[in-house]
Amino acid sequence: MAIVLKGHIHIPKEDLSSVKAHLGEHIRLTRDESGCLEFRVTQDQGDPLRFSVFERFRDKESFNLHQRRVENSEWGHVTKNVTRTYVVLDDEDGLKVVT
């Protein structure tokens, strides 16, 4: 059962350049994870401080491994002040997953 995370992040203006500088590596590392099926982070055209996020992982275990990796990564450090607004869903039936 695939796990989907979708939503957005809002970046404080003073952190924007650092977050953008690290985003490419974060995307690459995430897409290289064995359980990652899809991963997109895109900057909003109307609000440069907002980025849409879409993640799809093979299963809950893969998703949780990703979350732990990110916590201890350079990306986790540079995004510590970012506001995250997400929903996590079971891809098959749309039920909210508690992780």
How far is residue 50's CA from residue 63's CA, in Å, rounded to a whole number? Answer: 23
Helices assigned H by DSSP within 8-95: 16-31, 60-71, 74-78
Range of the domain at 29: 3-90
Instruction: Give tens-digit pLDDT for 32-61.
Output: 999 999 999 999 999 999 999 999 999 999
99 in a structural domain: no
The CATH number assigned to the domain holding 55 equals: 3.30.70.100
95 in a structural domain: no
pTM of the full predicted structure?
0.88
96 in a structural domain: no
> Which residues contact residue 28 at a Cβ distance below 8 angstroms, ignoring those fewer than 6 apart?
none
48 in a structural domain: yes
Q: What are phi and psi of 35, to 5 degrees?
A: -90, 0
- pLDDT level of residue 94 (50, 70, 90 thresholds): low
What is the count of structural domains for the chain? Answer: 1
